[in-house]
């Protein structure tokens, strides 16, 4: 399968895909679209950034248009559940883009904003409803969403739903769905609990897996920098002088930490903002828009954004704090090197994070290269980490062994610029 025209998609959809500049489906799209067009259930295992939104959005739009049918007040015909507001919003944007040449209506509902406009939209009837679990349950309990007419149900980022504690809400929602429906479940990883959920929801599904669970994007250049905790902000400021770091996502472990890092960057003359759960929805959307348009060079985020942000041209991901869940590392660095591009992931590691680094390397089944040539390198962390690794995993220091100096990664300090 070499292009979208070989798929049995309606011409208006092919026009919309061409408008977006796409011609060749990604592996998850090429493998998922045909069985979904046939009405089969699907279990998709794919890491972030593989194009899975189009993998389910395109056949949903195609089949709804093909089947016809009258819209009913408060009764959508397709339901897509997403774990975060950002992801729900981006799925909704994709639905609108792909259906721009068709008479397909859609709506997105999530918390943090007024419920009244969402109710007004649903009262007019929509084909496709994209929702987060909490707000959808609110609308259902108030009688503003009825799931009796659902023909296709998609559960996206199922493992993230588990991480965020949404599985009980998901089960309440799925209990209201018609028994005869098409269902697709997508997840970056497939722990036993998610496999059990899939078994309860799917009927003889086609399984599509385009990358092993918990692997990192192949085109991401990874490195770890050992640094004292109280020197992390100084190190970040030093790195940000590098012109190669164009559009960067910076991850912290806490909301207050995100605010502090954002404020530090702003005071250093770098356009930055923070996005996390304590921010209002309007503030989060404003920050995300500024990052997408290039007004902001840096967006500082907690893991709420690890899967919900899909922004083209992110050159770097910086883990200011290493995550305590190794799977989160995979999702974080997947924000760069998207749609075939390359990217760089830089991780800071202090004394307290040594165990996190070990867990990450076990999960991704590879050692993260250590970059020592920065002014805040803390050798004792490197020595402690290396002492716990098998000898074959210990990396030679520069100028050791064959006498050749290891090439610096892309985040070196060439082409520095002074902060404004």
DSSP alpha helix (H) spans, 226-294 = 232-239, 255-267, 281-293
In a domain, 399, yes or no: no
Whose tokens are 């050749």? That residue is 404
CA 247 to chain centre: 16
Judgement on whether residues 175 and 254 belong to the same structural domain of the protein? no
Q: Which residue has the higher pLDDT, 35 or 387?
A: 35
Give dist(CA 329, CA 316) in Å, integer: 14
Q: Note whether 223 and 368 are within 8 A (CB).
A: yes
Judgement on whether residues 246 and 295 belong to the same structural domain of the protein? yes
In a domain, 401, yes or no: no
pLDDT tens for each residue of 230-246: 999 999 999 999 999 99
Instruction: Output b/e per residue, 116-155; b: 16+ Cβ within 10 A.
Output: eebbebbeebbbbbbbbbebbbebbeeebbbbebbbbbbb
Confidence of residue 363 (pLDDT cuts 50, 70, 90): confident
Judgement on whether residues 197 and 148 belong to the same structural domain of the protein? yes
SS3 220: strand
Pseudo-torsion of CA 65, 67, 68, 70, nearest 10°?
-120
CA neighbor of 94 nearest in space, from 172, 166, 4, 17: 17
Domain endpoint, select from 174, 209, 244 = 209
pLDDT at 331: 81
CA neighbor of 239 nearest in space, from 358, 411, 25: 411
Side-by-side strand order, sheet with 182-187? 106-109, 128-131, 78-81, 152-155, 182-187, 42-45, 206-209
Longest dimension (CA), the chain: 74
Give dist(CA 311, CA 314) in Å, integer: 7
What's the burial of 321, exposed, middle or buried (CB within 10 Å: 0-12/13-18/19+)? buried
Number of other residues whose CB lies within 10 A of the CB of residue 252: 24
Give dist(CA 249, CA 272) in Å, integer: 10
**Residues in CB range of 265: below 8 A, 6 or more apart:** 236, 237, 240, 272, 298, 300
DSSP alpha helix (H) spans, 187-239 = 192-201, 232-239
Both tokens of residue 362? 């076990």
In a domain, 357, yes or no: yes
Judgement on whether residues 153 and 55 belong to the same structural domain of the protein? yes
Domain endpoint, select from 209, 233, 261 = 209
CATH code at 43? 3.40.50.300
In a domain, 413, yes or no: no
pLDDT at 239: 96
pLDDT at 416: 36
In a domain, 156, yes or no: yes
Q: Which helix (H) or strand (E) holds 275?
A: strand 272-275
Q: Which helix (H) or strand (E) holds 45?
A: strand 42-45
Give dist(CA 229, CA 249) in Å, integer: 19
CA neighbor of 189 nearest in space, from 326, 85, 80: 326
pLDDT at 86: 86
Domain endpoint, select from 168, 187, 209 = 209
Confidence of residue 5 (pLDDT cuts 50, 70, 90): confident
% of the chain residues with pLDDT over 90: 65
Which of 1-5, 84-88, 329-333, 401-405 has the least mean pLDDT? 401-405
Judgement on whether residues 228 and 123 belong to the same structural domain of the protein? no
In a domain, 409, yes or no: no
Judgement on whether residues 49 and 172 belong to the same structural domain of the protein? yes
Q: Which domain holds residue 353?
A: 220-393
pLDDT at 216: 60
Judgement on whether residues 239 and 324 belong to the same structural domain of the protein? yes
Whose tokens are 């194009």? That residue is 51
In a domain, 249, yes or no: yes
Judgement on whether residues 70 and 23 belong to the same structural domain of the protein? yes
Number of domains in the chain: 2
Judgement on whether residues 33 and 65 belong to the same structural domain of the protein? yes
**pLDDT mean across residues, the chain:** 87
pLDDT at 305: 60
Judgement on whether residues 366 and 297 belong to the same structural domain of the protein? yes
Handedness of CA 94, 99, 101, 106 (dihedral sign): negative
Confidence of residue 401 (pLDDT cuts 50, 70, 90): very low
Judgement on whether residues 149 and 228 belong to the same structural domain of the protein? no
Mean pLDDT of 197-206: 96
**Residues in CB range of 190: below 8 A, 6 or more apart:** 45, 159, 198, 213
Confidence of residue 310 (pLDDT cuts 50, 70, 90): confident
Which of 74-83, 117-126, 245-254, 410-419 has the least mean pLDDT? 410-419
Both tokens of residue 142? 């108030």
Mean pLDDT of 179-191: 92
Q: Note whether 57 and 95 are within 8 A (CB).
A: yes
In a domain, 14, yes or no: yes
Q: pLDDT at residue 393 above 70?
A: no
pLDDT tens for each residue of 46-89: 876 678 999 999 999 999 999 887 899 999 999 999 998 888 99
pLDDT at 30: 93
Judgement on whether residues 51 and 192 belong to the same structural domain of the protein? yes
Whose tokens are 């406009």? That residue is 117
**Residues in CB range of 391: below 8 A, 6 or more apart:** none
């Amino acid at each position: 399968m070499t292009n979208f025209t070989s798929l049995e998609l309606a011409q208006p959809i092919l026009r919309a895909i061409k408008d977006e500049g796409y011609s060749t489906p990604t592996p998850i799209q090429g493998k998922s679209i045909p069985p979904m067009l046939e009405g089969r259930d699907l279990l998709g295992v794919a890491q972030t950034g593989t194009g899975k939104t189009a993998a389910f959005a395109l056949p949903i739009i195609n089949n709804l248009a093909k089947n016809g049918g009258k819209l009913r007040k408060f009764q959508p015909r397709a339901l897509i559940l997403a774990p975060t507001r950002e992801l729900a919003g981006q799925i909704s944007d994709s639905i609108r883009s792909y259906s721009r040449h068709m008479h397909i209506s859609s709506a997105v509902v999530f918390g943090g904003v007024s419920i009244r406009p969402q109710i007004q939209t649903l009262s007019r009837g929509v084909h496709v409803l994209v929702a987060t679990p909490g707000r959808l349950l609110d609308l259902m309990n108030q009688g503003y969403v009825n799931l009796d007419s659902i023909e296709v149900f998609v559960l996206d980022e199922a493992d993230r739903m588990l991480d965020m504690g949404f599985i009980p809400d998901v089960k309440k929602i799925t209990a209201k769905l018609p028994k005869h429906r098409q269902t697709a479940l997508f997840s970056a990883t497939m722990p036993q609990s998610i496999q059990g959920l899939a078994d309860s929801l799917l009927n003889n599904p086609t399984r599509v897996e385009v990358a092993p669970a918990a692997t990192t994007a192949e085109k991401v250049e990874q490195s770890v920098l050992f640094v004292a905790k109280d020197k992390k902000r100084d190190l970040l400021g030093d790195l940000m002088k590098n012109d190669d770091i164009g559009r960067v996502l910076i991850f912290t472990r806490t909301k207050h930490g995100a605010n502090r890092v954002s404020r530090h960057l702003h005071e250093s003359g770098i356009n930055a903002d923070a996005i996390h759960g304590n921010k209002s929805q309007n503030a989060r959307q404003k920050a995300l828009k500024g990052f997408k348009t290039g007004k902001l060079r840096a967006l500082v985020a907690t893991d709420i954004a690890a899967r919900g942000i899909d922004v083209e041209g992110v050159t770097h991901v910086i883990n200011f704090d290493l995550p305590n869940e190794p799977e989160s590392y995979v999702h974080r660095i997947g924000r760069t090197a998207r749609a075939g591009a390359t990217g760089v992931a830089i991780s800071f590691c202090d004394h307290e994070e040594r165990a996190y680094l070990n867990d990450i390397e076990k999960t991704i089944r590879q050692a993260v290269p250590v970059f020592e040539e920065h002014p805040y390198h803390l050798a004792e962390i490197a020595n402690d980490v290396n002492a716990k690794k098998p000898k074959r995993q210990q990396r030679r220091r520069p100028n050791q062994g064959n006498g050749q100096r290891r090439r610096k990664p892309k985040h070196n300090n060439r082409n520095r610029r002074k902060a404004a």
